[in-house]
């Protein structure tokens, strides 16, 4: 018997840990590329399996067609929306700089439309200083100007990096789609858990990722589109920009889109445009609210089997720490946390009954 076997085993695990950490550092610059490539591969895996049968088990052809569908359905529309959003953002920013879009003036109109008692209460806490508010908004506009200029310069300098990352994502996506089953099998075999736990956790992982991405994106598209159309009908400039912002904020359950349309509806109501205010409030509260209350539980909560408040808190926490990636990673960690504790509770009950 080899007396040095424990030492060899420990050394191997230490080496495995070191090379794993080293690989993470090497791949860190391409984290977003790898992350979203893996997410897209997971979502389009059923399409690849369906095409694989139709194409007579020709894996490369099925993977290539799946990649084309992913580009046409997801990537190209996102690029078109992003380009239009830049134009709309520049238009709104120009109006802000020229004074045509004056939030201080809007606040002044709202303030003077309020009852005297409310104005006195606001004055007591210093919220009626219109000149100070305008100065703060001007300073904020200057900061926004510097930020936009810096970002534009950064995008210009990092165009090559963006193209490289985009090419790497497409290249990676092809192989992840083609070899997804083999890769997932290897990962499951490497996880040091029994088969029952591995099966439950991997199924939970796949279900939560698909439900979170597809469900939240579907809800965001519907709410953003409806909100943008409502703003366009009422005559608010930059309707596409506000619609995209509503779509982005709708990733936050219950409160998201209302952060945009709520203040606008209040402004119309207190400034005398009652028809516009009531119409906007009724449409957004009933129609957009119904989308959130009906579609989200069906597309997200039903599959993830998590309460809405858990989804909300985990989404907020994930996005605050990880940015846009957090709306997937936050609920995923919450779901795995609940699953692990459910397994522990089940094992304890099983042990106590023996």
Nearest by Cα to 181 from 42, 85, 298 = 42
pLDDT at 21: 92
Query: pLDDT by residue (tens digit) across 284-317?
Result: 878 877 776 676 666 665 666 677 777 778 877 8
Taking the alpha carbons of 27, 30, 31, 34 in that order, is the dihedral positive or negative? negative
pLDDT tops 80 at residue 177: yes
Lowest pLDDT segment from 31-40, 223-232, 236-245: 236-245
Report the alpha-carbon distance of residue 302 to residue 214 in Å, rounded.
13
Q: What is the pLDDT of residue 22?
A: 92
Q: 254 pLDDT band (50/70/90 cuts)?
A: low
| Average pLDDT across the chain, whole number | 74
Torsional sign, CA 72, 78, 79, 85? positive
Phi and psi torsions of 251, nearest 5°: -60, -20
Of the two residues 160 and 250, the one the predictor is more confident about is: 250
Residue 277 has pLDDT above 60, yes or no: yes
Under 8 Å CB-to-CB from 94, ≥6 apart: which residues?
Answer: none
Percentage of residues in the chain with pLDDT exceeding 70?
68
Residue-level pLDDT at 220:
80
HSE, CB side, 13 Å, CA atoms: give it for residue 79: 10
Q: 193 pLDDT exceeds 70? A: yes
What is the CB neighbour count within 10 angstroms for residue 135? Answer: 12
Give the pLDDT of residue 85: 64
- Ordered by start, the domain boundaries in the chain are 28-190, 193-348
Q: How confident is the model at residue 41 (pLDDT cuts 50, 70, 90)?
A: confident
């Amino acid at each position: 018997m080899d007396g040095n076997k424990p030492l060899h085993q420990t050394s191997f695990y230490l080496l495995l840990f070191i090379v794993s950490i080293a690989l993470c550092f090497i791949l860190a610059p391409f984290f977003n590329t790898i992350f979203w490539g893996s997410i897209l591969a997971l979502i389009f895996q059923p399409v690849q399996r369906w095409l694989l049968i139709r194409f007579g088990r020709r894996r490369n052809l099925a993977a290539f067609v799946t990649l084309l569908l992913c580009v046409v359905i997801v990537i190209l529309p996102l690029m078109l929306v992003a380009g239009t959003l830049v134009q709309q953002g520049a238009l709104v920013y120009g109006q802000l700089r020229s004074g045509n879009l004056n939030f201080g003036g809007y606040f002044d109109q709202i303030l003077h439309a309020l009852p005297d008692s409310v104005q006195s209460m606001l004055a007591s806490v210093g919220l009626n200083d219109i000149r100070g508010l305008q100065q703060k908004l001007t300073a904020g506009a200057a900061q926004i100007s510097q930020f936009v200029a810096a970002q534009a310069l950064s995008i210009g300098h990092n165009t090559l990096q963006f193209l490289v990352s985009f090419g790497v994502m497409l290249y990676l996506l092809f192989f992840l789609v083609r070899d997804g089953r083999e890769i997932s099998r290897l990962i499951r075999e490497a996880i040091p858990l029994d088969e029952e736990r591995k099966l439950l956790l991997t199924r939970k992982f796949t279900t939560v990722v698909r439900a979170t991405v597809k469900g939240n994106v579907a809800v965001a598209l519907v709410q953003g589109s409806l909100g943008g159309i409502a703003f366009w009908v009422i005559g608010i400039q930059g309707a596409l920009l506000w619609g995209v912002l509503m779509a982005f904020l709708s990733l936050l359950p219950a409160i998201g889109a209302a952060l945009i349309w709520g203040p606008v509806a209040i402004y119309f109501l207190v400034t005398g445009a009652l028809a516009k205010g009531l119409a906007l409030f009724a449409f957004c509260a009933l129609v957009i609210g119904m989308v959130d209350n009906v579609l989200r539980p069906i597309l997200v909560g039903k599959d993830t089997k998590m309460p809405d408040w858990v989804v909300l808190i985990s989404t907020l926490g994930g996005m605050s720490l990880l940015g846009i990636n957090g709306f997937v990673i936050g609920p995923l960690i919450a779901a795995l946390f609940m699953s692990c504790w459910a397994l522990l509770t089940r094992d304890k009950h099983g042990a106590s009954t023996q």
